[in-house]
Structure 1
Amino acid sequence: MTTTLDPEKLQTALANVHAAGMPGLFAEVRDNDQTWCGAAGVADLATGRPVTADMRHRVGSITKTFTAAAVLRQVDNGEIDLDTPIGHYLPRLVPGERGAAITVRMLINHTSGLAEYLPYAYPSLAAFPDLAKTTPQSLDDNRFTTFHPTELIELGVSAPASGSPGGRPGVYSNTNYLLLCQLLELITGAAAEKCITRDVIEPAGLRDTELPEGSHITGPHSLHYEAWLGMIDPPRDFSVFDMSFVGPSASLISTVADLNRFFGLLLSGEIISRSSLEQMRRTGPVISFEGKTIDYGLGLHKMIIPGSGIHWGHDGSVWGGGAISLTSADGARQMSVAVNLQRWNRLGAGGRPQPHPIDAALQGFIQLALSR
């Protein structure tokens, strides 16, 4: 079988991201039955230990696709209805008129109008998204703080609404996905982490993917360097962190190979039913944390790659770590890449993140990886 994968060009493009200022990154690209793996840079700035393509990594909100898939498995089983109000299931967490107006579907596609709880859980981020007024102090203060999910949900539900239920554009919010995790626990009788593991991770054969119980990443991994828009200089490692502040909405640890395998199986209808996959692909505008409008379905992004057309997947970031996973509409081409520095852009005079050479280099690698 012929392939458009060019190992030399892919490795050069990856190295360009490292040269632009990324400490380390690694990727896997698939074209039908052909696979390329590559890495560039270091996993530890102090020792110079290199990154490798098989490293385990925190992948942030890519977790949401796994959570959405677990909910849709219960939809397939007839245990959850997408258009039933969340107040029917969880009246104490979302009471009254809002509970009656916000459906399960609105939680998954971020049109519930429920605010993000993060600025309230981390007080020094309270000015978010006015980034010029935020500080990273809460990252250190709460490195080992354990939050209970219902505590975080209460913060989001009691905060001023970000919109009306079902309104467009939606507004991205972790509150939605912590509620979905509580819904999974109610329906299945198991902790959301166990439910997602049993119904999604294990059937997909993802041997290096887990929702961690502790603060550490086990197995070979990179450090995770957070720059917080130049306010942490030099960037500091936050790979050891209590991830209860996001729980099963953004705490997944995985590898680039497992991410490609997961999205390949999901988008071919092997994890959820074809009808649920169709629901997942019904997209609409959602405002991201960065203030950008994204085309979002049920835990799934629809992205247009210049010259390559429609791709499906998700991206994610945590303190110091991030990943992007995309699969072409026909399922033939896949790309997953993980990076070990986050918020590398510095703020300009107007308090907005300024362009950085990493931006163009990373986009150049993604576009090359998905070109056919």
Structure 2
Amino acid sequence: MVVFVAGKSIAKPAGVAVGLADASAGRPLGVDTPLRIASNTKTFVAATVLRLWEQGRLDLDAPIGSLLSPGLERVLSTHGYATAAMTIRHLLSHSSGLYDHGDDPRFMESVLADPAHAWTREELVRLSVAYAPSPGKPGAAFRYSDTGYVLLGDILERVTAQPLAAVVREALRFDSRGMTSTWWEIVEPQPSGAEPRARQFLGEVDVTDINATMDLYGGGGLVSSARDLATFTADLFEGRVFERPETLAEMLRKGSHQEAEEYRLGISVTSVAGRECYSHLGFWGTAAYYSPNTGIALAGFTTARQGRPQLLEIMERAIAQ
């Protein structure tokens, strides 16, 4: 387990780590050890969308039908999804009415049954519409959906005519931010000098080498370290990612749909010790928090998903002090 602390109130960012990144090699876990961060990627994707919005290249309230690849649009529309009524904002805030393929137990069963399978973006969207009908209309209520961020990844690629990895890296300035342990798996090479990835576990199952395409297209896909994730989180909330403060305000503005208090645009809202905090979790055992009241950003990783509750307890205690 590893936790790194940064932020404007921290004179010298620092972290602590215990345990092993790879038991078979006796390699220790550290603040610069990269892991798959799964849904923590969503905050990066949402921030990229908002960077394009502040540049006037995207309209958050534009319908997605004409922005999607034709094949994806056909999959959705032929299964009853109203792509003319579904907007980029709906995808960002999980209020699109899309079923979440990633949370369906059949998905992980399929992944574990054939861990080498290379998934396509369209395959994942097809799973969503095949698993269940739409749980609601666009803009009605918060319903978390990995599928929505898979669509956002497609839209970013079409709008910019660049691969998703390149769009995110350029828009969020990974290199100038010194994020030397962060990259988009498969699509980008591991940065020179970055440590080997830690091994990650789901129960007793070593999931490190499961084909990354099962979570590559926007809902997940990034590999990062606790230092890099805490650094980015601090930069995001302290005005060093967007050009204008109004852009962060837009990212954090509460929507009008039901249960909008739980999630904004790529970031969750929670209360820790009576203080409002922003956070996001990643499926395999990663978490990022920012406390505006204290000016503290934390990122925490555990190599075993079942250790995530203990990790969150430790991080929230740190925020509450």
Q: TM-score range by the shorter chain?
A: 0.7 to 0.9
**CA–CA distance in structure 1, aligned partners of residues 195 and 23 of structure 2:** 19
**1:276 corresponds to 2:247:** yes
Gaps of 5+ in 1: 1-24, 129-135, 228-234, 288-292, 345-357
Gaps of 5+ in 2: none
The one-letter code of the counterpart of 2:102 is L
Shift of the 243–84 alpha-carbon distance from structure 1 to 2, 3 Å rule, reads same
Task: Tell me, yes or no, if the aligned pair for 2:302 and 2:311 is still in contact at 8 Å.
Answer: no
RMSD: 2.7
Q: CA deviation at 1:148?
A: 1.3
Which sits farther off after the overlay, 94-103 or 71-80?
94-103
Q: CA deviation at 1:173?
A: 0.9
| Residue number in structure 2 paired with 1:241 | 210
**1:163 corresponds to 2:165:** no
Shift of the 57–194 alpha-carbon distance from structure 1 to 2, 3 Å rule, reads same
Shift of the 137–102 alpha-carbon distance from structure 1 to 2, 3 Å rule, reads closer
Listed one character per residue, the Cα deviations across residues 303-330 of structure 1 (whole Å, up to 9, x for unaligned) are 21125x111131112xxx3211111114
Shift of the 328–246 alpha-carbon distance from structure 1 to 2, 3 Å rule, reads same
| Residue number in structure 2 paired with 1:332 | 295
| Residue number in structure 1 paired with 2:182 | 209
| Residue number in structure 2 paired with 1:79 | 57
The one-letter code of the counterpart of 2:97 is G
**CA–CA distance in structure 1, aligned partners of residues 235 and 11 of structure 2:** 14
| Residue number in structure 2 paired with 1:38 | 16
Shift of the 88–221 alpha-carbon distance from structure 1 to 2, 3 Å rule, reads closer
Identity %: 27
**CA–CA distance in structure 1, aligned partners of residues 302 and 258 of structure 2:** 24
| Residue number in structure 1 paired with 2:268 | 301
**1:146 corresponds to 2:95:** no
Task: Tell me, yes or no, if the aligned pair for 1:322 and 1:338 is still in contact at 8 Å.
Answer: yes
Listed one character per residue, the Cα deviations across residues 133-156 of structure 1 (whole Å, up to 9, x for unaligned) are xxx653433322111112322332
Task: Tell me, yes or no, if the aligned pair for 1:216 and 1:240 is still in contact at 8 Å.
Answer: no
**1:310 corresponds to 2:270:** no
The one-letter code of the counterpart of 1:302 is V
Shift of the 363–342 alpha-carbon distance from structure 1 to 2, 3 Å rule, reads closer
- TM value normalised by structure 1: 0.74
**CA–CA distance in structure 1, aligned partners of residues 92 and 118 of structure 2:** 25
The one-letter code of the counterpart of 1:364 is E
| Residue number in structure 1 paired with 2:200 | 224
Query: Which runs of structure 2 are paired with 1:1-372 in the superposition (5 Å)?
Result: 25-30=1-6, 31-46=9-24, 48-90=26-68, 92=70, 93-94=72-73, 98-118=82-102, 125-126=105-106, 137-157=109-129, 159-168=132-141, 170-200=142-172, 201-213=174-186, 219-227=195-203, 235-247=204-216, 248-272=218-242, 273-283=244-254, 295-307=262-274, 309-317=275-283, 321-330=284-293, 332-343=295-306, 359=309, 361-372=310-321
Task: Tell me, yes or no, if the aligned pair for 1:209 and 1:252 is still in contact at 8 Å.
Answer: yes
Aligned length: 305
